[in-house]
Amino acid sequence: HVMVHIGDHRDPPSPRAASLPRELLEALAPGDILSHLCTGRQGGVLDAAGRPVPELLAARERGVVLDSALGRLNFSFRAARALLDQGIVPDTISSDMTGRGRGLIVYSLAECMSKFLALGFSLPQVVRMTTANSAAALGMSGALGSLAVGREADLSILRLVPGRWEFRDSLDDTLSGDQALAPVATVRAG
């Protein structure tokens, strides 16, 4: 399987930025992963009218995994909302954590999960997208992504914190939420 990254952050964008994702989507096979589904930059999966390109819908039907990969440069609340409003939901939530992004916008996976809560997803949906769905995308459902008798326990214990939270995306747009996830403890190989 392969994972492909879309979204062009260069200024000006590459002349191929608009057509390359469509070509990549046509080439992806079941189980391959499209990363940065919700990019708001050129080279994303929305056409000029804000509709998903047909190649995205076909790839979804074929079983291509759609990953949010928030990252420092390729996550937009507007793009996420446009996709969600048209029935396109990421299979997985991931951070795309980098050294530069960690202190600027991608503070933690819990922060990324909280952004999806603010977009209207339920806590069970967000947890499933981050754990079981991610394990399945990696072909590791037998070892990761859920608790089972006899399985090694790797746990992240999170607390749902009510309040007034403001989240920022890669284009400096904001979204308010009334809850966020905060890390409490980690159990490794329990």
Q: In Å, what is the CA distance from 46 to each residue of 42, 57, 122, 136?
A: 9, 11, 25, 26
Residues of 114-151 as b/e, b for ≥16 C-beta within 10 angstroms? bbbbbbebeeeebbbbbbebbbbbbeeeeebbeeeeee
Exposed/middle/buried for 9, CB within 10 Å: 0-12, 13-18, 19+? middle
Strand order in the sheet with 65-67: 3-5, 33-35, 65-67
Beta bridge partners, 4, equal 34
CA distances from 25 to 55, 115, 157 (A): 6, 26, 36
Q: Give me the residues paired with residue 182 across strands.
A: 159
How confident is the model at residue 120, as a pLDDT? 96
Q: What is the CA radius of gyration of the chain?
A: 17
Residue type, 61: E
Q: Residue 98's pLDDT is what?
A: 63
Measured between alpha carbons, how far is 56 from 78 in angstroms, rounded to an integer? 18
Closest by CA position to 5, among listed 43, 59, 49: 43
Residue 167 DSSP class = E
What pLDDT does residue 142 have? 86
Helix (H, G, I), strand (E, B) or coil at 157: strand
Per-residue pLDDT 10s for the chain (190 aa) are: 899 988 877 777 777 777 888 999 999 999 999 999 999 988 899 998 999 999 999 999 999 999 999 887 899 999 999 999 999 999 999 988 766 656 667 778 999 999 999 999 999 999 999 999 999 999 998 888 888 888 888 889 999 999 999 999 999 999 999 999 999 999 988 7
pLDDT at 100: 65
